[in-house]
Amino acid sequence: MKVSILANSLIGSEIIKIGNEVNEMKRKGASIANLTIGDFDANIYPIPTELKAGIVEAYNANQTNYPPADGVLPLRETVSELLKDRFGLEYNTNSILVSGGSRPLIYATYLALIDPGDTVVFPAPSWNNNHYSHLTSAKTIAVETDAAHNFMPTAAQLKPHLKGATLLALCSPLNPTGTMFDADSLAEICDAVLEENASRGADEKPLYMMYDQIYSLLTFGKEHVNPVSLRPAMRPFTIFVDGSSKCLAATGVRVGWGFGPEDIINRMKALVGHMGAWAPKAEQVAMSNYFNDKTQVDTFLASFKAQIQDSLNALYNGFHELKNEGFNVDAVEPMGPFI
């Protein structure tokens, strides 16, 4: 049967494939801890009780019609305050876009910025940038990272590949390693981006940075940093991806938000609208109410992070015990919700 070239050449997510294979092995009786998918067992890590009640209340209040294309205004106002309070970032509601989780935001970023043949640079390992590049017919440069730098890319590793590129896709804490940028390392990368953009003519497309910080509220002993706070000149070139899926163990609730230059966010809004990839209205209403209570959020995060850290420390210590016994394994100290 004839299909499009894109459909014929598209492959599924590698990590989901591996995760499904592991689950099938478990179904057949194998004793395996499935560490493949960035999800939480809801029986161990349920979403906040207050959020669950708020979602039910919103449905009972008949908040079931189409939401606005960019998200309900109260949620965008809440996100604007959250960004200011948690990260020192000033973005108004017109610079914020809500969607059904972070994936539509990532895809919309690619669609808004990438023309066929444009170059996307991203570190290896990273999550699904190869697939989004394929969907937009981009050329890819996967920059290999190393254990010496906790598998986070450095400016020295990235800089040779930035000439002529359109998008640099970064994530911190990084999926799948859980490691993070420190301020100096990220600032050096920002300086390289700014230097590259300064070399381009007025009629040339700039080099943009997509900064995925979906895990930013789940860090352990490390301060999350972002490009715009470190280098304000990065603001016109940075599109952030964020949301509630990870920090509230709410992967199935599907409320994500992105923010960045208003003109680009407006174009992404049209793209998300054509996808129909809005977050459900009731969940948006409940999420706005939940995040408005900072004490409530902090109480949940403290408990949730302690649970995650206990699990990660057990894995980390277990790997090092195996290493000490002569097994060819190693692990990096947990910084975010991966190891």
Cα dihedral 300→304→309→312 (10° resolution): -160
Angstrom distance (rounded) from CA 252 to CA 272:
18
The tens digit of pLDDT for each residue in 228-238 reads 999 999 999 99
Angstrom distance (rounded) from CA 255 to CA 71:
10
Angstrom distance (rounded) from CA 97 to CA 100:
10
Alpha helices in the chain (DSSP H): 5-9, 14-27, 49-60, 73-87, 103-113, 129-135, 155-158, 183-198, 227-230, 262-275, 281-291, 294-324
pLDDT > 60? residue 337: yes
Angstrom distance (rounded) from CA 60 to CA 290:
17
Label residues 155-190 b or e (16+ Cβ within 10 Å = b). bebbbebbeebbbbbbbbbbbbbbbbbeeebbbbbb
Q: Provide, rounded to the nearest whole percent, the portion of the chain with pLDDT above 90.
A: 83
Residue of 62, 69, 83 lying closest to 235 (CA atoms): 83
User: Would you say 243 and 256 are in contact if contact means Cβ atoms under 8 Å apart?
Assistant: yes
Lowest mean pLDDT among 83-87, 250-254, 334-338: 334-338
Residue 102 tokens, joined? 């972070």
The domain segmentation of the chain, as residue ranges, is 49-294
The tens digit of pLDDT for each residue in 211-230 reads 999 999 999 888 999 999 99
| Angle ∠(218,220,224) on CA atoms, nearest 5 | 65
What is the pTM (predicted TM-score) of this model?
0.95
Number of H helices, E strands in the chain: 12, 7
Residue of 113, 219, 204 lying closest to 172 (CA atoms): 219
pLDDT attached to residue 130:
95
Lowest mean pLDDT among 1-5, 80-84, 144-148: 1-5
Sheet of 119-124: strands edge to edge?
96-99, 256-259, 238-243, 208-212, 167-171, 119-124, 139-144
pLDDT attached to residue 338:
67
The tens digit of pLDDT for each residue in 272-312 reads 999 999 999 999 999 999 999 999 999 999 999 999 999 88
Angstrom distance (rounded) from CA 108 to CA 239:
11
Determine the CATH number of domain 49-294. Answer: 3.40.640.10
pLDDT > 80? residue 249: yes
| Angle ∠(58,59,60) on CA atoms, nearest 5 | 90
Angstrom distance (rounded) from CA 59 to CA 38:
28
pLDDT attached to residue 34:
77
pLDDT attached to residue 339:
52
Residue 101 tokens, joined? 């989780």
DSSP code, position 254: -
